[in-house]
Amino acid sequence: MQLTVTGKQVDVGDALRRHVETTLEAILGKYFRTAIEAHAVFAREAHLVSADVSLHVGRGIVINSSAAATDHYVAFDAAAERLAKQLRRYKRRLRAYHGKARMAEGLEMARSFVLAPIDDEAEDAIAEAATADGASPVVIAEMSTELPQLTVGEAVMRMDLADSPVLLFRNRSHGELNVVYRRGDGNIGWIDPANSSDRAAATSRRL
């Protein structure tokens, strides 16, 4: 496993680096055995230190967790415990994926963008410019990302492991684009245009 430990306005010494490596290897040995790479980033946030941990355990499977505390070790241990709980929740399914190499199936590339944040005045100016000549928001990053072919359950698992609010994927049952996302009430939403089209077609046939 390739491990990187970095600090933002925080000194990361050899002792902390060894603690991170030992802890992550113990978690992997208990729940998953292997990983491709891991990243731990420590940053100062006012009087607290935040620890963000990212573990890449297979193609398309990334597990993220974070925590904050007054001490580097306490923050990391809390983030690592959360990561271990996520792995424990999906242990059986992750090992099945790993053994069958299903992560390498049905992948295609999609483009994703990060837009520069703007304040209210800038937003008004952009709106006026867009009306005049079709101007678009400023793109500050563009990247390619894998678009997996999954069941809905697998998509929810990946979103949960990555601690992400939304996941775009191709539904394995019919190949169309689907979205799962976290709702404000804590439940998971699922958007399947193909099913909506099927229902609309069925309704029109009945009419």
Q: What is the pTM of this model?
A: 0.61
Q: What is the pLDDT of residues 149-169, one digit of tens each?
A: 888 888 888 888 888 888 888
Fold entry, domain 106-206: SHC Adaptor Protein (3.30.505)
Q: What is the mean pLDDT of the chain?
A: 75
The domain ranges of the chain are 2-100, 106-206
Using CA atoms, how far apart are residues 43 and 130, in angstroms rounded to an integer? 38
Give the dihedral sign, CA 28/29/31/35: positive
Q: What is the dihedral of CA 107, 166, 162, 156, to 10 degrees?
A: -70
Q: How far apart are CA 41 and CA 27, in angstroms?
A: 18
The pLDDT, as a whole number, for residue 66 is 93
Q: Which region, left, alpha or beta, applies to residue 80 given φ > 0 means left and ψ of -120 to 50 means alpha?
A: alpha
- For 2-100, give the CATH class: alpha beta
- Give the pLDDT mean for 30-46: 84
Q: Is residue 117 a contact partner of residue 69, using CB atoms and an 8 Å limit?
A: no
pLDDT in tens, 124-152: 554 555 555 555 555 555 555 667 788 88
**Cross-strand partners of 48:** 45
Cα-Cα-Cα-Cα dihedral sign, residues 142, 146, 150, 155: negative
Residues 6+ away with beta carbon under 8 Å from 164 = 64
pLDDT greater at residue 6 or residue 95: 6
How many whole angstroms separate alpha carbon 23 and alpha carbon 31? 12
